[in-house]
Chain A
Amino acid sequence: MTDLTFLALATVTVASSILALEARDLVYGAAALGIAFLGMAGLFFLLDASYVGAFQIAVYIGAVVVLILFTVMLVGPQLGEPPLELKRLSLLAAILLSLLLGTAGAVSSASAFPGPDNCGSGCDLVGLSSALINQYGVQLEFLSLVLAAAVIGALTLAKTERKTQ
């Protein structure tokens, strides 16, 4: 049962992430990216990381994909992908990609990491929240400072642009 679910989720994720990069229209690309993120959230649910999965949906699709769509629609339709010139570079990338895929295939055939069936305390919500507050509290505070800085930076960028017009 899990096997089929995993297969479907993995196929959706990989296919839509390829589509995100290769779709001619950027709006379609952004929508495909959103579907890839949804598939990733499903994979998190399969790994018993349901809280992280919920946040994956809320942050990536609720915020990042919406921002991307908004930018694409505002920046306008002149963004058609220009024809590739650097054939050599794309060839390099293709070789790299196939190497990585080969590694993936080789590793997965060995089935080296079975993984425990029952996650138990390792995926416990209470354990996660207490670790987040008690063990990593300082890092959390730093992260919120960085978040505030990023938001202020983005607002400043958008605002100066409006003043110059």
Chain B
Amino acid sequence: MEPLTSFFAVSVILLGIGIYGLTTKRNAIRILFSVELIYNAANLNIIAFARLRNPPIVTGQVLVLFTIALAAMEASVGLAIIMLVSRLNVDIDLRKLTRLRG
């Protein structure tokens, strides 16, 4: 069995990649990618920490099932918004998306 530390390391790296994407990307779909990556990093972390207890507990897996469902909802609503915006506006660059500004 690989020590759990390695899983934490993967999780942290994914979180870093996700934050990098959130801060530098301007395309709405790329930002959605970053959010999904951060969700995944959190999921991996939760499952690995649930293994840390001796004996391990199932609560982590339950929580991750809930998170996966939430991520699917977030993606569906987010993509619906992106499609709507792309029809109204020409591009989905988030920094140019100022339709609601007074």
Contacts and interface: CB of A to CB of B under 8 A. Distances in A.
Interface string B27-63: 1011011101100100110011011111111111110
- Residues of A in contact with B, size category: 35 or more
B98 interface: no
A36 interface: yes
B100 to A, nearest CB: 15
Interface string B47-85: 110111111111111101110111111111101111110
Contacts, number: 256
Contacts of B101: none
Given A94-B20, A97-B20, A78 B47 contact: no
B62 A60 contact: no
Size bin of chain B's contact surface: 35 or more
Nearest to A140: B66
B54 A13 contact: no
B14 A111 contact: no
B2 A122 contact: no
A92 B23 contact: yes
Interface of B: 1-10, 12-21, 23-27, 29-30, 32-34, 36-37, 40, 43-44, 47-48, 50-62, 64-66, 68-77, 79-84, 86-88, 90-93
Interface of A: 2-3, 6, 10, 13-14, 17-18, 20-21, 26, 29-30, 33, 36-37, 40, 43-44, 46-49, 51-52, 55-56, 59-60, 63-64, 67-68, 70-72, 74-76, 78-79, 81-82, 84, 86, 89-90, 92-94, 96-97, 100-101, 103-105, 107-108, 110-117, 119-124, 127-128, 131-132, 135-136, 139-140, 143, 146-147, 150-151, 153-155, 157-158, 160-161, 165
